[in-house]
Amino acid sequence: MSENSKSQLYTEGMKTRREVLGADYVDLATSKMTEFDEPFQTMITQSAWGSLWSRDNVNKRERSMMTVALLAALGHHEELALHLRATANTGASREDIREALLHVAIYAGVPAANSAFKVAKKVFAEQDEK
């Protein structure tokens, strides 16, 4: 899809995606895009980042906490690590993340929270090393 034919939702989504995940990450992800996955990348940029993350009904900190809890509950550890790193841009503190993961333990199960705490500890340790 050419830049000229991309929607305003895509444009807004890409702006938000860069704010949350960081320009370096988004640039790397889009540089790896192929003809095969371009429709998927466009869809998530428009829907997840343009239609959802760009809404102002809740702030990015709160949305970040919800996203972390959902990814943890579903066991999507790679995406969880990505969104844990993104908390540096969303304003969600480590205490916020701990609270979200405690909710995961009660509402989605201790094993899901246990795994998520391990992922979070690893991500936070990597951030502390930098």
Considering the segment(s) 60-129 as one domain, its CATH architecture is Up-down Bundle (1.20)
What confidence tens digit (pLDDT) does each residue in 33-49 have?
Answer: 999 999 999 999 999 99
Non-local CB neighbours of 123 within 8 Å, separated by 6+ positions = 81, 84, 85
Backbone angles phi, psi at 82, to 5 degrees: -60, -45
Does the pTM of the predicted model rise above 0.85?
Answer: yes
C-alpha 31/C-alpha 53 separation (Å) is 22
C-alpha 116/C-alpha 128 separation (Å) is 18
Q: What is the pLDDT confidence band of residue 122, given thresholds at 50, 70 and 90?
A: very high
Q: What is the pLDDT confidence band of residue 6, given thresholds at 50, 70 and 90?
A: confident
